[in-house]
Structure 1
Amino acid sequence: MSDPAKTIIIFDDDNDILSICSYILEEHGWNVHTFEDCNDIVNRVSVIMPDVILMDNWIPDTGGIKATRTLKENEDLKNIPVVYFSANSDIESLAGAAGAETYLAKPFDLDDLVSTIAKVAHK
């Protein structure tokens, strides 16, 4: 019996990143939703209820830290794992400040993308 497809939301304002990540994750059986900003984030995430969220640090309008904290403060959404990703050299502390479960530094290896997301999705 095969697992039902898992769902991920990617928040990133870089179209190249969105298309590459979407392509790779769809190839691995994920249903992918993408947003170029984090406006109305609670409503967007509540409608989709993903298994994992991939959050960029520099996402408009509020930024990834505030967006992630907003999700983590919501009773219905706080248990959805967030993978924080950024080219910032201080990504580990940014992810910690945001309350994300883990992080992925940009640029990243596509295999690392898939394995990092798979790890948090199975928790």
Structure 2
Amino acid sequence: MTDNGKKIIIFDDDEDILSVCTYVLEEQGWEVHVFTDCNNIIEKVNGIIPDVILMDNWIPDTGGIVATQALKNDAALKHIPVVYFSANSDIQLLAEKAGAEAYIAKPFDLEDMERIISGVITA
């Protein structure tokens, strides 16, 4: 647990991606929370109130677009930046449809991930 208060939630059902992202972000001082589905997403996010959310497109059960839209329609949570990530070639369109602030195409470079996360937080 770090004391700088930077919290991030990663919604992805790919264990490899979760472990790599968690390792890299924890090395940078993030408190990382991971979920392999987006069921009850409002409750999950309300319980943590992260500084940023990484959202996979193909997350069970409803998918990243519906999950992100649910967050953006919640008055208490809509300010939290969402970084959408997917291997889908239409990632930019998907992110826009979802209402995400930014996106990362999979497979992604870890430095790109760090830069994009920093970008949405300082925006």
Structure 1 length normalisation: TM-score? 0.96
Question: 2:59 maps to which residue?
Answer: 59
SS of 2:25's partner is helix
1:121 is displaced (CA, Å) by: 1.4
Matches within 5 A, 1:1-123: 4-123=4-123
- The structure 1 segments of at least 4 consecutive aligned residues displaced by more than 2 Å after TM superposition are none
Alpha-carbon distance between aligned partners in 1 of 2:66 and 2:57, rounded to the nearest angstrom: 9
Alpha-carbon distance between aligned partners in 2 of 1:4 and 1:56, rounded to the nearest angstrom: 26
Aligned residue pairs total 121
1:40 is displaced (CA, Å) by: 0.4
Alpha-carbon distance between aligned partners in 1 of 2:46 and 2:38, rounded to the nearest angstrom: 13
What's the % identity of the aligned pairs?
Answer: 65
Amino acid paired to 1:38: C
Alpha-carbon distance between aligned partners in 2 of 1:78 and 1:24, rounded to the nearest angstrom: 26
Alpha-carbon displacement from aligned partner over 1:91-110 (angstroms, at most 9, x marks no partner): 00000000000100000001
1:5 is displaced (CA, Å) by: 3.2
Structure 2 length normalisation: TM-score? 0.96
Give the superposed CA RMSD.
Answer: 0.9
